[in-house]
A and B are shown apart, each in its own frame.
Chain A
Amino acid sequence: MFFYYCDLAWRSIRKTPMLSMLMVLAISIGIGITITTLNVYKTMSYNPAGERSEVINSVQLWSQGLDTWDDFISNITYIDAMNLRNNQQLSLKAATFRTGLALQSDNPKIEPVLQSVRVTDRDFFRIFSVPFLYGSYWDASVDLRPAYQVVISQKLNLRFFEGKNSVGKTVFLDRKPYQIVGVIDHWNPQPKYYDPLNGAFNDAEEIFIPFSLTAQEEFDVWGNTSGWKFEPMITYSDRLASEKVWIQFWTELNSEDEKQHYQSWLTRYVEQQRAIGRFTDTAKSAAEAVQISDIDKWLEDNNVVPQDNKILVGLSLLFLSVCLVNILGLLLTKFLKRAPEVGVRRAIGASRGQIFSQYMVEVGMIGFIGGLVGLLWAWGSLTALHSYFSMDQSVTGLDASMWVITPLIAISTAVLAGIYPAWVVCRTKPSVYLKAQ
């Protein structure tokens, strides 16, 4: 019976090509716009940490003076980063910031390139579950006693060492030799949740070097440095001793208990710092001057999903509802026009239920075609977003879930629009039309 209805629906659709095209157009445009905005929203609001979202935590401190900043700043000072690194209670902890260095190898044929570099501790790789192709992260002793060791990406390994195991080999960063200890396998979390501050959809760095080298190598900071008071910033040691914030601090807290424990340790730390004259804004209590953010909160606080995007999702849903009303009107028009035909069918024995399901199959078919066309629209507009507005590929790629969501939205929209017209038409009294004929 279902296939018979499908056949009938297809005939009916072909009988009024303009009207059917109009309906498919309306539903497909509505779907196209909704899917485009939903897709961008969904990929932007994706949490790459998955089930580790609550375990991975960053630390913010209210280190500012009175009447300066109104919110917690994502970064902390070098002094605090060093103190938090030295806290032996935590099992895993890592300070990190971004810098840039000129990269050269023994291979003279490859020109030096300026590379974005992540400066961090060894626990970074464990906290963020970074996969290794060869070797591993540097030894724990390197975090205490600086050594020129480096972890590189498989892409760099491919370029400089033809993809062979390069552990033990040397690369030059700013003309200093660094020994390779590990090669990272494919790893490029999107959004770049470990540092969304300078472009949440940038690619992951290709080079990782020990944070312990910072003081002696005086790495430039390729990120935000914010200050709330005037401090001379002439030499690098001025920076290290300043109240300027520019470092992110990460830790792993496996249970609510550990979190509580760490929170109270941090509270004591703030009290201690206040005693020696830092953290001068005492309007907040010491406990309130500490913030531990898991990944969900961190992504939210750093506005990874732009406001515009939320507005667009809302407006496109409204748009879809206009399309729905539009199709409702058109379907009503079309079905009522066929009332005489329904009258005859009813007279020769079709039940109301049969008429109703026949028309619902037709509506579902229009929805399905509209959904397919809408997916094409969405694909087209996402491609346009990528090429004309330089939006990142990771955001404009069609999310796999959209293949399920699109037909679902399309058919439910059509069915929602079709129920009333189908109900009206199945209530047709055969006698009226038999008489008129």
Chain B
Amino acid sequence: MLHIKPILSSLMRSKSSPILLLLQIILSVAIVANASFIIYERLSLMQRESGYAEAQILTFSVYNFDPAIDNIKQNEVDQLILRALPNVIDASSSNMLPLSDSGWMDRYVDGPNEDTAKSTPGFAFYLGNDHLLNVMGAKLVAGRNFNPDEINTNIDDPGMLAIVSQPLAKAFWGDESPLGKTMYQGTQTVTIIGVVDKLQGAWVDHENFEYSVIQNVDFGGSSSNKMYMVRALPEHIPALEEAIRSALHAENPNRVLDNFQTVAELKNLSYSNHRLMATVLSMMVVLLLLITALGLTGMVMFNIQRRTKQIGTRRALGARKRDIIQYFMVENYLICIVGGVIGGVLALVLGQQLMSLYSLPMVPVIYPIMSVIGLLVVTTLAVIVPATKAANISPAMATRSV
């Protein structure tokens, strides 16, 4: 029905251009499959929920260089000022900023004896007061927040409490509830009082990115270098920077306020390499398909010109227009499918190389298959225009000498 045999024999007669086409299809499938897999991976990294009210949190740093400043007092006064500013929902000090690519990482052990105790995986270690959870916009799923009278000023104070992220709780305690458990850091004990459903750390590429802990320390008091997070509605954020600057400088001018950024901006910056990779690869895929399609169109057009006489003769002998179109389509599909199979294998080999060289995950088989299907669609579009033109060749052409 599809008349594959005459098509094959005509392909065999002039081998060079179908072979070139085949080669191009093979390479394209290999590239497109691997590139789209990497793109998919990067996009899914970027789409993870962070657990923060990203666009509502404005972060900044304060550096007090006046030796007369009492850091602990200043920190309390500053936070009261921040919370009293118009449009501010809440404010808190912190030791590190979410998704910022820098911060503290630590671990707990489950017993006082260092040699026998089991250690939790490493987690992002946030230090903050009772306002921090509200500023972050994190959702408590079990237990409670810190009470205002439970906040410590130093990291070696007794009475440490911790709120952990759900993924960390799952990883260490499994289905058991972590609430009320006592953990250790050296000789210091920490009691777990709450669980939040999601709270990412600072390093977007770290394997423990979802593991976080907040401990009840108002860290802004412990050194002259402080970080604050202020929550406000996104429409109020732009005006907030100036308001914060003037309010804090009015309190004490001997300090440098810097690095005003929302968590959304920090996130954007942290993922910029992944976004870059996804963009560059997407452009590569699009351009590759474009070039393949244009090249194919050019070649089919040439073939049609060369075969004008034959096409005319076929039409004169009773072939319908759709027979002519079908001829070119089937010819294309034959090459595409053969090239697709070889290209798919090559894609997997290439994927394996990338996996062993750069510790990338292996390309799933669905990617080469999807690439072949994509190429079939693109090449169909590329062939159909010249093939329709060919079908319009009048049978009279056959009798005319060229």
Q: Which residues of A contact B360 (CB under 8 A)?
A: 311
Which residues, 238 to 276 on B, are CB-close (under 8 Å) to A? 254-256, 258, 269, 272-273, 275-276
* Interface contact A230-B281, CB-CB below 8 Å: no
* Cα(A327)–Cα(B67), bound, Å: 71
| Contact present for A230 and B185 (CB under 8 Å) | yes
Contact at A321–B20, with CB atoms within 8 Å?
A: no
Contact A26 B272, beta carbon cutoff 8 Å: no
A322 touches B294 (CB 8 A): no
Contact indicator B65/A326 (Cβ below 8 Å)? no
Given A113-B256, A322-B288, residue A22 in contact with residue B273 (CB < 8 A): no
Residues A329 and B272 in contact in the complex (CB < 8 Å), given A102-B63, A232-B186, A322-B31: no
Does A100 count as interface, using CB distance less than 8 angstroms?
yes
B284 CB–A CB distance under 8 Å? yes
Complex-state Cα separation, A336 to B360, whole angstroms = 45
Which chain B residues border A310 with CB–CB below 8 Å?
A: 358
**Is the CB–CB distance between A326 and B223 below 8 Å?**
no
Set B38, B154, B299: member contacting A234, Cβ < 8 A? B154
A419 within 8 A of B: no
Q: Does A332 contact B (CB under 8 A)?
A: yes
Q: Give the CA-CA distance A234 to B102 in the complex, in Å.
A: 20
Residues of A within 8 A of B224 (CB): 220
Residue B225 lies at the interface, judged by CB distance under 8 Å to chain A? yes
Q: When chains A and B are docked, how far (Å) is the Cα of A222 from the Cα of B278?
A: 31
**A384-401, CB under 8 A of B: which get 1 and which 0?**
010001110000000000
| Pairwise interchain contact A26-B295, C-beta atoms closer than 8 A | yes
| Residues of B59-88 contacting chain A, CB below 8 A | 63, 65-67
- Choose from B185, B223, B299, B305 the contact partner of A329 (Cβ within 8 Å): B299
The segment out of A77-85, A155-163, A250-258, A312-320 that lies at the interface is A312-320
A1 to chain B, nearest CB (A): 29
A198 to B295 alpha-carbon distance, docked (Å): 46
CA–CA, A142 to B16, complex, Å?
Answer: 77
| CB nearest neighbor in B for A21 | B294
Taking a contact as CB atoms under 8 Å apart, the answer to whether B155 and A234 are in contact is yes
B310 sits at the interface (CB 8 A) = no
A286 interfacial contact with B, CB 8 Å? no
A146 at the interface (CB under 8 A from B): no
Interface membership of A174, Cβ < 8 A: yes
B35 within 8 A of A: yes
Across the interface, do B273 and A220 meet the contact criterion of CB distance under 8 Å? no
Given contacts A26-B291, A329-B20, contact A114 B256 (CB under 8 A): yes
Closest CB-CB distance, A363 to chain B, in whole Å?
Answer: 15
Chain A residues positioned under 8 Å from B287 (CB to CB): 29, 33, 319
A175 touches B65 (CB 8 A): yes
**Residues on the B chain within 8 Å of A424, using CB:** 16
Per-residue interface assignment for chain B, residues 271 to 309, with 1 indicating a CB less than 8 Å from any chain A CB and 0 otherwise:
011011101110010011001101100110010011000
A149 CA to B139 CA, complexed, in Å:
51
Q: Which residues of A contact B316 (CB under 8 A)?
A: none
Which of the residues B27, B258, B275, B302 comes within 8 Å of A321, measured between beta carbons? B27
Per a CB cutoff under 8 Å, which of A112, A319, A420 touches B31? Answer: A319
Shortest distance in angstroms between A254's beta carbon and chain B's nearest beta carbon?
36
Query: Are the C-beta atoms of A22 and B294 separated by less than 8 Å?
Result: yes
Shortest distance between the CB of B88 and any CB in chain A (Å): 24
Q: Which residues in chain B, 11-33, are within 8 Å of chain A measured between CB atoms? A: 16-17, 20-21, 23-24, 27-28, 30-31
B156 at interface, CB cutoff 8 A: yes
What is the CA–CA distance of A100 and B63 in the complex, to the nearest angstrom? 9
* A315/B31 in contact, CB under 8 A: yes
Q: Decide if A25 is an interface residue (CB 8 Å cutoff).
A: yes
Q: Is A408's CB within 8 Å of the partner chain B? A: no
> Chain B's nearest CB lies how many Å from the CB of A411?
19
A328 to B255, CA, bound (A): 66
A328 near B20 with CB under 8 A, answer yes
The chain A residue with its CB closest to the CB of B274 is: A308
Inter-chain contact B20/A332, CB cutoff 8 Å: yes
Task: Give Cα A174 to B68, complex, Å.
Answer: 12
Other-chain residue from B275, B284, B291 in contact with A389 (beta carbon distance below 8 A) = B275
Question: Does A306 count as interface, using CB distance less than 8 angstroms?
Answer: yes
Tell me what chain B mostly uses at the interface: helix, strand, loop, or mixed: helix
Evaluate contact between B66 and A318: CB separation under 8 angstroms.
Answer: no
Q: How far does the alpha carbon of A436 sit from the alpha carbon of B28 in the complex, in Å?
A: 39
Q: Does A272 contact B (CB under 8 A)?
A: no
Residue of B24, B225, B269, B273 touching A325 (CB-CB under 8 A): B24
Q: Does A333 contact B (CB under 8 A)?
A: yes
Give the chain A neighbours of B65 by CB distance below 8 A. Answer: 101-102, 112, 174-175
Q: Once the chains are docked, how many angstroms separate the CA of A319 from the CA of B354?
A: 16
**Residue A268 interfacial (CB < 8 Å):** no
Closest to B65 in A: A102
B24 touches A326 (CB 8 A): yes
Q: Which of chain A's residues has its CB closest to B108's CB?
A: A230
Residue of A nearest to B223 (CB): A220
Say yes or no: B291 contacts A25, CB within 8 Å.
yes
Quick check: A329 and B17 within 8 Å, CB to CB? yes
Q: Which of A113, A308, A330 contacts B299 (CB 8 A)?
A: A330
Q: Which of B34, B38, B67, B298 has a CB less than 8 Å from the CB of A175? A: B67
Q: A198 contacts which chain B residues (CB < 8 A)?
A: 102
The residue of chain B having its C-beta at the shortest distance from the C-beta of A199 within the complex is: B101
Contact among B38, B225, B275 for A311, CB-based, below 8 A: B38
Asked if A337 is at the interface of the complex by the 8 Å CB criterion, the answer is: yes
1/0 per residue, CB under 8 A from B, across A80-113: the answer is 0000000000000000000011100000000011
User: Contacting A322 at CB < 8 Å: which of B279, B292, B354?
Assistant: B292
Chain B residue nearest in CB terms to A328: B20
Proximity bits, B303-339, A CB within 8 Å = 1, else 0: 0011000000000000000000000000000000000
Contacts of B155 in A (CB 8 A): 233-234
CA–CA, A101 to B224, complex, Å?
10
Contact among A29, A113, A311, A334 for B291, CB-based, below 8 A = A29
Q: Is A216 an interface residue (CB 8 A)?
A: no
In the bound complex, CA of A337 to CA of B402 (Å): 14
From A18, which residue of chain B is reached at the shortest CB distance?
Answer: B298
Q: How far is the CA of A174 from the CA of B64 in the complex (A)?
A: 9
| A316, B283: Cα distance in complex, Å | 11
Q: Which of A20-54 contact B (CB under 8 A)?
A: 22, 25-26, 29-30, 33, 37
Q: What are the residues of chain A within 8 A of B114 when measuring CB–CB? A: 230
Closest Cβ–Cβ distance, residue A253 to chain B (whole Å): 32
**Would you give the shortest CB distance from A353 to chain B, in whole angstroms?**
22
Does B66 lie within 8 Å of A325, measured CB to CB? no
- Residues of chain A within 8 A (CB-CB) of B223 are 220
The reply to whether B292 and A326 contact each other, CB–CB distance below 8 Å, is: yes
Q: Once the chains bind, are B156 and A234 in contact (CB under 8 Å)?
A: yes
Complex-state Cα separation, A231 to B114, whole angstroms: 12
* Contact (Cβ within 8 A) B280 A312: yes
> In the complex, given contacts A18-B298, A26-B295, A306-B273, what are 16 additional A-B residue pairs having Cβ atoms less than 8 angstroms apart?
A22-B298, A25-B291, A26-B291, A112-B254, A175-B66, A231-B186, A311-B354, A311-B360, A312-B281, A322-B28, A322-B292, A325-B24, A329-B299, A333-B17, A337-B306, A391-B276
A-B contacts, 7 of them at CB < 8 A, read A22-B294, A316-B284, A322-B27, A325-B20, A328-B20, A329-B24, A333-B302
Closest 9 CB pairs of A and B: A102-B65, A326-B295, A114-B256, A333-B302, A230-B186, A329-B20, A389-B276, A325-B24, A174-B65
Interface residues of B (CB under 8 A from A): 16-17, 20-21, 23-24, 27-28, 30-31, 34-35, 38, 63, 65-67, 102, 114, 154-156, 185-186, 223-225, 254-256, 258, 269, 272-273, 275-277, 279-281, 284, 287-288, 291-292, 294-295, 298-299, 302, 305-306, 354, 358, 360
